[in-house]
Chain A
Amino acid sequence: MSAKWALFIDVAKCHNCRNCYVACKDEHVGNDYPGYAAPQPKHGHDWIAIHTHERGEAPMVDVAHLPTLCMQCEDAPCMKRDDGAVYRRDDGVVIIDPVKAKGKRDIAGSCPYGAIWWNEEAQLAQKWIFDAHLLDRGWKEPRCVEVCPTEAMTSAKLDDAALQSKVKGEGWEVLKPELGTRPRVFYKNLHRYQKCFVGGTLVAAANGVDDCVEGATVELLKDGRVVATATSDAFGEFKLDGLPPDGGGYELVVNSAQRQARVAVELGASRYLGTLRLETV
């Protein structure tokens, strides 16, 4: 079993520096790599795209960035054609043949991840090629990995067994697994992008003023059943994460020594509940 390339993206480590995005433009705009890719138009093509998702409101906001690119699917919809215009190399990289694909606009529409772009001037469908042209010249990793300052993107050339072991062992997942295209681009911490949180700040009276309540137990209940718990920090803050969007009604119960609070929470998107005052029971 020959080894194949895979890309790993930790969403929690991406801070949208855009190095990968610009490096991809640097690599392809104005450069023709016959057999691999025709030049990328200077504007309008995001072969590596970065999507941003914000949650919450001040002072409890977090932001996730989700880079998407050609997923190098094992069962790629773009390859389901018999003209040889799209093929997978032995090392797993999917290539749209810049000659055979000429004029075939349907290739651009075939990607369920929106990772293929139509070049009107060249009449070509184009996408990120894992820098196969550089790997073939002995480069150790694609440029997006080389320039990533947070190590949010890493690459590896693994056989199937090693890949499966890594994916299971380290908890990697794919985008839209329901499509069944078996991408070779894996993600971690997708909840930051896909799930919701409920958070708040707990205070209580002390010596005539309000102070933050640290160490309070916070429970989130759905239909009377506890679905998440957290403990408040020194700023009185708690955050219950990983909740499904549009989760509907919950009850939040806070307990700290002799004090308690109960709040009904309606959850569409993520919510910061503001300052909750604990009263002595």
Chain B
Amino acid sequence: MKVGLVLKAAEWVMNFTAARYPVFEQRIQERTAVVQLRLRGGANGARHFTFGGRRVTSARGLHAKPDVVLTFKDAEVAWDVFKPNARRIDAVNHAKNFSIEVTGNDELACWFTETISIMRAVGWKLGTDAGNGETRMLNATNSGPVFVYVKDGRIVRMTPIDFDEHDPQPWTIRARGRDFSPPRKTTTTSHTLASKSMVYSPDRLLYPMKRVDFDPNGERNPQNRGKSGYVRISWDEALDLVVSEIQRVKRVHGHGAIMNSHSSHHTWGNIGCYVSAFNRFMNAIGYTKMVINPDSWEGWYWGAVHHYGYSMRLGAIEPYGHVEDCLQEAEMIVYWSSDPESTGGSYGAFEGTLRRMFARDIGIEMVHIDPHLNYTASLLGGKWIPIIPGTDPALAHAIAHVWISEGLYDKKYVAERTTGFDKYSDYVMGVEGGVPKSPEWQAAETGVPAHTVRALARKWGTRKTYLAAGGKGTTFGGACRSATGSQWARAMVCLMGMQGLGKPGVNFGNLQYGAPIDLNFYFPGYGEGGISGDLETTGGVVQMVQRQPQLPSMNIVTQRITRNRIAEALLKGKTEGHPIDPKSSHGQFMKFGYPSPGHSRVRMMYKYGGSHFGTVQESNKLAEAYQSDALEFVVNQSIWHEGESKFADLILPACTNFERWDIGEWSVAGGYSHHNNCQLNYRVISIQHPCVAPLGESKSDYQIFLAIMHRMGMGTYYGEGLTELDWCRLQFDASDLPKRMSWEKFLERGYYVVPPEDMQVSPQAVAMRWFAEGRKKDVPEPHPLPAGNSARFREGLQTQSGKFEFEASSLKMFDDPGRPPVNKYIPSWEGRQTSELYTRFPLQLLSPHPRYSFHTHTDGKDSFVNDIEEHRVLVDGYYYLAARINPREAAARGIAHHDLVKLYNDRASVICAAVITARILPGVVQCYASSAVYDPIGEPGKSPDRGGCVNALAPTRWQTEKTSASAPNSCLIEVEKWTQAPAAAAAMSDAAGVAA
């Protein structure tokens, strides 16, 4: 009876809403259909709705020929679903227990429930009036939230968030008689500010396309991938093709024949992120999973973990309380391969910048060890110690040598908190091996004068020092991504182990992390899985499994391929790898092979997001793999036509995050970047409004996946009958936000700023202080896991001994010649010591995280960022990637500023524009990694690339034999002036254009 009334009322409300809102009237006229709702028992309680006209009609009883039927077990189940204050958990539980069933048109069932949802939302106000006919909406990016000003359906501008009187006041830290407070706004980067140019990029994919010479029923011509043009097709054709290929490949080849492939990052938002909607979709298909190697962590994960744990963070240390401790206590910061002014905590823009400038201004000394006078070094000043790439561990051992020789380390800490120091000391002092690792010994390797090393070691050994090793303080790029990356990360933690890591002013960090913000307030990071329902490969198992009611998903295929072995797997049919396993220090030892027993080789690839041509090593092989007949079908779902999309058989056009609903808190990643938001001055959680309609025929990733799922009869499972806004609401409800702001207010205002901690009431615990003082762990991270402790829970480190281990117990249990239990200097397998290769290719190529693009995102695409000449240089009408080279090396090769140059070795040739600068050491060339553009001037994979995929020059060899640790910064090249006429190059390149 109650249900009957609600359903009758639904008809009235729909018609009332349609009369009031033309957009909803349009919605209910989209379909001509009869939707039957009924109970299992029969006609009693049944009602059917008829759509097709300007108004909805409904009638009691059973319709003779309904298009879709939703059957509820009984009136109680139906009431749980339709009652005014219905709880999502009840609907999900009834679905899981088959108390609700859908028969008939799967897609129509979702359309009906989505229509009800849209009806509820239609009156909600989105954004605020900004005057001049503009509406100020919200969105979020990889470098923070933005106000998006929209007028007449077009984006006018984007700005960071300036706080108003409704937002909280900042935190204040008092240090050495001065106060520091961040300004009341968010920071941002050039690549976020360039977003408008990317939305309206001429490279946008605006409709589905098929390769002109791809015939699924005849010749597939894989050899022409990367060369042939494309022809426009309809969404129906595209969806039919992808569905028929998924089903054919599964039927013909069986278990594991489909693989996924995606970039490590994506457009911002917990719904649209690859960990979310894509993950749920691929799980519904079953696939061979591309395993990402921890390419920003590398040496930390494969090396440092074994001395001090932190596998949950892939080797990065806990980052809490650093800002206050560093500003109040530290006397020096040593930045070692650390350029936070370029890498910005990955997603944290310039949140740490003013803190670092303040630190300098209150007298904290700065030292920068890097082959490049990076932007942090040039801004802050201090001592620059340039070093030959890949030799950093030798310098570290020599610092330890000075400390041991002169007694400049914390003997009490070493005695009480660590194990195995004697063995490390024996190695450093030459007791073992006979060679003391003295400053003089290292000079030949590193190029750093012995007197500089002694001066640094003495300063460091007598001052409370923060070590910033890598962009984030621990981890993130640079020296950890070379053949000696594991050695370097191990050396970094061993140095801090000698200096009393965790004591006041003695820690890892560069002031990018550890701000005193409220971390007890919960909002999920994208790494927690969004809507994936996947508990195996996301961080969802920690919180979201209880907080967000939804249907689960899981991949039934266990076969895996490591990302930079995709080409090898496809070409040779055989490869192997080692996994990321945040649970323990030992999971990484579990080698996996491809093909796995009883699995098919991969025959189809579902590629999603940014291009790998600019991000994996030796990527010329990827072109070769694409052109082999190993892959029968390649679908690429992408926003822009660039890089890998030009190797697809079918292209599905996705829209940007500015054209769809989403929700997220900036910088919060979750998963193995737990509390990544603790770098922020202010936690800002934002709805991501669909600021403008999707361009052309592009659709949100979610809508594309849902459409495919509908054609496979899984739409009601995949989408659960929800709209994307409903999924955003589920994330909102799963968080602590409803306690602070109503959903409707959140949609209008667009954001919520979490007030900072009251530092008097809730002082933030400092990382590792508990360990240094032998106390129970008091920082808010759920690690080591309960079983990861050898003694009592939350007492001691994750190591076998619970102490800091100079001799790693875990490595004693695993034989990897490149990772002896005591860290030792083993020269790079590709560097100045490899004399035969070095003679032919006498320059070392560094390819760090880019400063002006977010990986491939924002690069290319005719983006505003192209015009930044430190990023790309316009030469003869083409934007070439900047290659930084020392004046001496340039002169020796007759190269002038902004000349085109060819970077080459046996693996590849890449054409760049020379930027001559004294900031880079002689013998070293530096180009940003992650070109979005792959533009071979001839045969793909076999000719010079003028797009700037310099990673193609780098080796795929692992750092050590038994890791999957990439080493792109161990790369020897030669550079010469490029003299081929630009017009000829352009003509060759244009031959691979788009036909449609």
Interface residues of A (CB under 8 A from B): 13, 15-19, 21-23, 25-27, 29-31, 42-43, 46, 54, 56-63, 137-138, 140, 143, 146-147, 149-151, 201, 203, 209-212, 214, 233-237, 275
Assess whether B180 is interfacial by the CB under 8 Å rule: no
Q: Which of B442-474 contact A (CB under 8 A)?
A: 449-452, 454-456, 458-459
Interface residue B240 (Cβ < 8 Å from any Cβ of A): no
Across-interface contacts of B865 in A (CB, < 8 A): 22
Q: Determine if A18 and B918 form an interchain contact, defined as CB atoms under 8 angstroms apart.
A: no
A93 to B132, CA, bound (A): 21
Q: Quick check: B200 and A30 within 8 Å, CB to CB?
A: yes
List the 6 shortest-distance A-B pairs measured between CB atoms, nearest first: A149-B350, A15-B379, A22-B193, A18-B190, A212-B455, A63-B378
CA distance A18 to B159 in the complex (A): 14
Q: Are A60 and B384 in contact (CB under 8 A)?
A: yes
* Complex CA–CA separation, A147 to B158 (angstroms): 11
**Chain A, residue nearest B162 (CB):** A146
Look across to chain A and name the residue whose beta carbon is closest to the beta carbon of B863: A22
Contact of B349 among A27, A60, A146, A149 (CB under 8 A): A149
Chain B 475-516 per-residue mask, 1 if CB under 8 angstroms from chain A, else 0: 000000000000000000000000000000000000000000
Contact sample, A vs B, 13 pairs, CB 8 Å cutoff = A17-B350, A22-B190, A23-B193, A26-B193, A42-B862, A54-B917, A60-B384, A146-B160, A146-B185, A149-B349, A150-B353, A235-B452, A237-B383
User: How many residues on the B side are at the interface (Cβ–Cβ under 8 A)?
Assistant: 60
How near does chain A come to B151, taking the closest CB pair, in angstroms?
Answer: 9
Q: Nearest Cβ in chain B — how far from A8, in angstroms?
A: 16
Return chain A residues, CB-CB under 8 Å to B852. 18
Quick one: given A13-B357, A62-B378, A212-B454, are A275 and B449 in contact (CB under 8 Å)? yes
| Distance of A230 from chain B, by nearest CB (Å) | 15
Q: B197 touching A59 by the CB < 8 A rule?
A: no
* Assembly CA distance A59 to B375 (angstroms): 15
Task: Considering the complex, give the chain A residue whose CB is closest to the CB of B921.
Answer: A58
- Docked CA distance A78–B197 (Å): 31
Report yes or no: A63 in contact with B373, Cβ–Cβ below 8 A. yes
B381 contacts A147, CB within 8 Å? no
- Smallest beta-carbon distance A198→chain B, Å: 15
Nearest-Cβ distance from residue A145 to partner chain B, whole angstroms: 11
Contact with A along B906-922 (1 / 0, CB 8 A): 00000000000111011
B868 / chain A contacts, CB cutoff of 8 Å: 18, 21-22
Residues of A within 8 A of B757 (CB): none
Contacts of A23 in B (CB 8 A): 159, 193
Question: A18-B852, A61-B918, A63-B919 are known contacts. Are A147 and B451 too (CB-CB below 8 A)?
Answer: no
Complex Cα–Cα for A212 and B187 (A): 40
How far, in whole Å, are A15 and B373 apart by their CA atoms in the complex? 12
Chain A residues near B69 (CB-CB < 8 A): none
What residues of chain B lie closer than 8 Å to A234, measured between beta carbons?
455, 458-459
- Cβ contact within 8 Å between B350 and A59: no
Q: In the complex, how many angstroms separate the beta carbon of A196 from the nearest chain B beta carbon? A: 14
Interface check B688, CB cutoff 8 A = no
With A19-B190, A23-B193 given, is the CB distance from A212 to B350 under 8 Å?
Answer: no
- The answer to whether the Cβ of B939 comes within 8 Å of any Cβ in the partner chain is no
- The dominant DSSP class at the B interface is mixed
Kindly state the separation between the CA atoms of A212 and B451 in the bound complex, as whole angstroms: 6
Q: Chain B's nearest CB lies how many Å from the CB of A27?
A: 6
Residues of B within 8 Å of A15, CB to CB, are 341, 375, 378-379
Question: Once the chains are docked, how many angstroms separate the CA of A22 from the CA of B918?
Answer: 26
Apart from A57-B918, A58-B918, A212-B452, 6 more pairs, CB < 8 Å: A13-B357, A26-B193, A58-B384, A62-B381, A149-B354, A150-B357
Q: How many A-B residue pairs have CB under 8 A?
A: 145
Q: Tell yes or no: B196 within 8 A of A by CB.
A: yes
Q: Which residues of B contact A201 (CB under 8 A)?
A: 449, 452
- A275 cross-chain contacts in B, Cβ below 8 A: 449
- What are the interface flags for B867-895 relative to A under an 8 Å C-beta threshold, 1 for contact and 0 otherwise? 11010001000000000000000000000
A59-B354 in contact given A147-B159, A212-B452 (Cβ < 8 Å):
no
Q: Which of A29, A59, A151: most chain B Cβ within 10 A? A: A59
Which one of B131, B157, B452 contacts A137 once the chains associate, using CB atoms below 8 Å?
A: B131
If A18-B190, A62-B378 touch, whether A27 touches B357 (CB-CB below 8 Å) is no
- Judge if B386 is at the interface, Cβ distance under 8 Å: yes
User: Does B440 count as interface, using CB distance less than 8 angstroms?
Assistant: yes
Selected from B131, B160, B451, B922, the residue in CB contact (under 8 A) with A209 is B451
Asked, given contacts A42-B862, A149-B354, whether A16 binds B918 with beta carbons under 8 Å apart, the answer is: no
Give the chain A neighbours of B381 by CB distance below 8 A: 62
* Contacting pair A151 B354 (CB below 8 A): yes
Smallest CB–CB gap between B417 and chain A, Å? Answer: 29
Complex Cα distance A43/B194, Å?
13
Q: Which of B132, B349, B870, B874 contacts A16 (CB 8 A)?
A: B870
Question: Are the C-beta atoms of A22 and B451 separated by less than 8 Å?
Answer: no
Q: A15-B378, A62-B378 given as contacts; is B440 within 8 A of A209 (CB)? A: yes
Whether B46 sits at the interface, judged by CB under 8 Å, is no
Say yes or no: is B569 at the interface (Cβ < 8 Å to chain A): no
**Interface contact A27-B354, CB-CB below 8 Å:** no
Interface string of B168-191 (1 = CB under 8 A from A): 000000000000000101011110
B79 CB within 8 Å of chain A: no
**Chain A residues within 8 Å of B451, by CB:** 203, 209-212, 236
Distance of A137 Cα from B190 Cα, bound (Å): 25
Q: How far is the CA of A233 from the CA of B349 in the complex (A)?
A: 33
B918 touches A150 (CB 8 A): no
Query: With an 8 A cutoff between CB atoms, is B435 at the interface?
Result: no
By a CB distance below 8 angstroms, the chain B residues around A26 are 157-158, 193-194, 196-197, 864
Q: Which of B187, B353, B379, B918 touches A54 (beta carbons < 8 Å)?
A: B918
Inter-chain contact A25/B197, CB cutoff 8 Å: yes
A213 CA to B383 CA in the complex, in Å?
Answer: 15
Complex: chain A residue closest to B879, CB-CB: A43
Nearest CB in chain B: distance from A55 CB, A: 8
B156 within 8 A of A: yes
Find the residue from B190, B196, B378, B866 having the highest chain A CB count within 10 A. B190
A56–B373 alpha-carbon span in the complex (Å): 12
Residues of B with C-beta under 8 A to A31? 156-157
Cβ contacts under 8 Å, A140 to chain B = 162
State the Cβ distance, B443 to closest chain A Cβ, in Å.
10
Contact A61 B188 (CB under 8 A): no
Cβ-defined contact, B383 with A235, below 8 A: yes
**B313 nearest CB across to chain A (Å):** 26
Q: Which residues of chain B are within 8 angstroms of A17 by Cβ–Cβ distance? A: 189-190, 341, 350, 375
Q: Is B385 an interface residue (CB 8 A)?
A: yes
Once the chains are docked, how many angstroms separate the CA of A25 from the CA of B379? 25
List, in ascending order, chain A residues with CB within 8 A of B183's CB.
Answer: 151
Cα separation A27 to B196 with both chains bound (whole Å): 10
Report B-chain residues with C-beta under 8 Å of the C-beta of A21. 190, 867-868
Q: Please tell me which one of the listed residues B154, B384, B455, B864 contacts residue A211 in the complex, with CB atoms under 8 A apart.
A: B455
Closest to B351 in A: A149
Using CB atoms, name the residue of chain B closest to A141: B162
Q: Is A19 within 8 A of B385, CB to CB? A: no
- Across the interface, do B864 and A59 meet the contact criterion of CB distance under 8 Å? no
A61 to chain B, nearest CB (A): 5
- Complex Cα spacing A233 to B865, Å: 40
For A23, A146, A201, the residue with the greatest tally of chain B CB atoms inside 10 Å of its CB is A23
Shortest distance between the CB of A241 and any CB in chain B (Å): 11
Q: Are B375 and A149 in contact (CB under 8 A)?
A: no
Measured between alpha carbons, how far is A236 from B384 in the docked complex, in Å? Answer: 13
A146 CA / B131 CA spacing, docked (Å): 19
Contact: A209 with B194, CB < 8 Å? no
Least CB distance, A261 to chain B, in whole angstroms:
15
- What are the residues of chain A within 8 A of B162 when measuring CB–CB? 140, 146
In the docked arrangement, what's the CA distance between A42 and B879, Å? 14
Do the beta carbons of B159 and A43 come within 8 Å of each other? no
Q: Given A61-B373, A211-B451, is A22 in contact with B194 using a C-beta cutoff of 8 Å?
A: yes
Chain B residues closer than 8 Å to A43, beta-carbon distance: 866-867, 874
Rounded to whole angstroms, the CA-CA distance of A241 and B450 in the bound complex is 27
